[in-house]
């Protein structure tokens, strides 16, 4: 890389992880993939886990590869990842078993059990977070009820990105944006919600001190440097370690007229707030609050994303049918528009054995034509996602009291021009797409601010706008989308609206 300063961004997703080299030359940012590795849940016995040692091995390979390819030492390294999951350390600082996956079945029924002790509205007022079964609080409470030995012996809980920062630096800290996903953190006090922790019988000793994004945690441990072939130390830096917060940090042009849409396996759509405003309206409409890179908050709705199509592709692959994304999108463009629609946030699509069959069943029971071909199924999913974004777009304007004009779409979905145009049409709003690697770029931005390479996040985002080529999609006539939205709302009303997006 020609950049004067290079930062290593470890960007962990639910299906893959990457180590990226982010360059900063004083004017523009650049990004280059150093190493990519597979990730995913591993079932062992009754539980679904994360392969933490496999992820750690992938991170080390990436750090090692960079050292072998580049001259000099990176200015820093940061880790961002998904929310809610965590690892437990014992009194010696050693990891106690493999962390459980958020799709593990142990939290079934925990929302209701916790509500017997603390009602959902009280939780929302204290944390700004909607109840959702995958949240950290329900994972922990299930272990309290199990009288789990690991929890009883644990000394420290570290959310997933903070766990790998600990492996890198030895620092036991919980970064602010990641902590807000637990449903056990108080944005008002910038500390753990201790009364809730005590009420649920969760041992308070396990919660590590919180730190803000762009905090230098300390130098990378000597043994890690030696294993990866470095002679000179460099710092581990707490970035906005929740990948959504990192993605929004790298969303150019965010202002009061904009909504962000981070689109990947999950979709998260929302707006920036300066402080928590836990209104009854926001609670009723299913909006939650998570930390932002500058210490503020993201008011957002958590929606299913491209997970549904990813699962369809997996099922087709098992059947011996290999499809590339471009093949599916080309076929979808040829399929009949707005013919079959689904509630993408329905529980039926959370983890079915066969996603194509789940889509067929939903359409069958709601009296719609059943999509059969990959093109028809792809179009059904993309149009249904666009209608979910439309519902959130309308509700977000109501909750914030803003006149929203632009959807700023980042993440893998920014590559999907068909989805981008459908979203513009469904929302009757301009869609600005890019950057694709928003989470990794947000990771790099926070490191640059922490080391003084950039003065503040505002300057970093201005530089990013000069660095990235963005695409703009203008809305076309939306009358057919209005009719489709009304038709889908009627179908959802008949079945009862119990989807993932309405719980969080």
In whole angstroms, how far apart are CA 68 and each of 72, 152, 228? 10, 43, 9
In whole angstroms, how far apart are CA 483 and each of 88, 338, 341, 387, 489? 50, 10, 12, 11, 10
Query: What distance in Å separates the CA atoms of residue 278 and residue 266, rounded to the nearest whole number?
Result: 23
Identify the residue whose tokens are 């930390």. Answer: 291
Helix ranges (H only) for 366-495 are 374-400, 417-427, 438-450, 457-467, 479-495
257 is catalytic: no
The residue from 162, 243, 395, 504 that is catalytic is 243
Beta strands 156-159 and 86-89 are antiparallel
How many whole angstroms from its chain centre is CA 85? Answer: 12
Whether residue 31 contacts residue 20, with contact meaning beta carbons closer than 8 Å, is answered with yes
- In total, the chain counts a number of residues equal to 504
The angle at the Cα of 263, spanning 243 to 136, to the nearest 5 degrees, equals 45
Say which residues have a Cβ less than 8 Å from residue 49's Cβ, sequence separation at least 6.
Answer: 41, 42, 43, 97, 98, 99, 100, 101, 104
Sign of CA dihedral 461, 466, 470, 475: positive
Question: Mind telling me the catalytic residues?
Answer: 243
């Amino acid at each position: 890389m020609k950049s004067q300063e290079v930062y290593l961004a470890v960007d962990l997703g639910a299906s893959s992880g990457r180590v990226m080299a982010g360059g900063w030359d004083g004017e523009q940012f650049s990004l280059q993939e150093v190493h990519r590795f597979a990730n995913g849940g591993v079932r062992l016995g009754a539980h679904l886990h994360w392969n933490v040692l496999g992820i750690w091995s992938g991170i080390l390979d990436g750090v090692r590869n960079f050292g072998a390819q580049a001259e000099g030492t990176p200015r820093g390294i940061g880790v961002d990842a998904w929310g809610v999951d965590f690892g437990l350390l014992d009194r010696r600082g050693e990891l106690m078993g493999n962390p459980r996956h958020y799709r593990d079945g142990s939290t079934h029924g925990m929302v209701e059990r916790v509500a017997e002790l603390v009602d959902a509205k009280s939780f929302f007022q204290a944390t700004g977070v909607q109840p959702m079964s995958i949240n950290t609080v329900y994972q922990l409470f299930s272990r309290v009820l199990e009288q789990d030995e690991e929890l009883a012996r644990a000394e420290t809980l570290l959310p997933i990105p903070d766990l790998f920062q600990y492996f890198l630096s030895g620092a036991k800290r919980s970064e602010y944006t990641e902590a807000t996903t637990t449903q056990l953190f108080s944005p008002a006090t910038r500390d753990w919600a201790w009364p809730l922790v005590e009420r649920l019988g969760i041992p308070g000793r396990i919660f590590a001190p919180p730190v803000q994004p762009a905090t230098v945690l300390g130098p990378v441990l000597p043994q890690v440097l030696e294993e990866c072939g470095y002679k000179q130390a460099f710092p581990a830096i707490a970035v906005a370690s929740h990948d959504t917060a990192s993605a929004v940090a790298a969303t150019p042009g965010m202002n009061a007229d904009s909504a962000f849409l981070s689109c990947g396996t999950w979709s998260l759509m929302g707006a920036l707030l300066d402080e928590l405003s836990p209104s009854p309206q926001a609670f009723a409409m299913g909006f939650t609050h998570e930390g932002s890179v500058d210490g503020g908050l993201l008011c957002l709705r958590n929606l299913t994303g491209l997970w549904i199509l990813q699962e369809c592709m997996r099922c087709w692959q098992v059947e011996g049918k290999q499809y590339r994304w471009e093949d599916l999108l080309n076929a979808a463009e040829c399929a009949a528009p707005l013919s079959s629609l689904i509630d993408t946030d329905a529980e039926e699509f959370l983890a079915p054995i066969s996603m194509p069959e789940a889509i067929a069943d939903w359409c069958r029971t709601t009296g719609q034509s059943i999509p059969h071909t990959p093109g028809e199924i792809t179009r059904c999913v993309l149009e249904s996602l666009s209608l979910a974004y439309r519902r959130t777009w309308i509700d977000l304007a109501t909750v914030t009291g803003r006149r929203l004009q632009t959807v700023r779409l980042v993440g893998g979905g920014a590559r999907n021009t068909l989805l981008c145009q459908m979203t513009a049409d469904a929302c009757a709003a301009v869609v600005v797409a890019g950057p694709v690697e928003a989470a990794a770029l947000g990771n790099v931005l926070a490191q640059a601010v922490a080391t003084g390479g950039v003065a503040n996040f505002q300057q970093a985002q201005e530089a990013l706008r000069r660095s990235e080529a963005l695409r703009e999609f203008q809305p076309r006539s939306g009358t057919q989308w209005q009719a489709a939205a009304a038709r889908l709302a009627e179908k959802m009303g008949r079945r009862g609206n119990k989807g993932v997006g309405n719980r969080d």
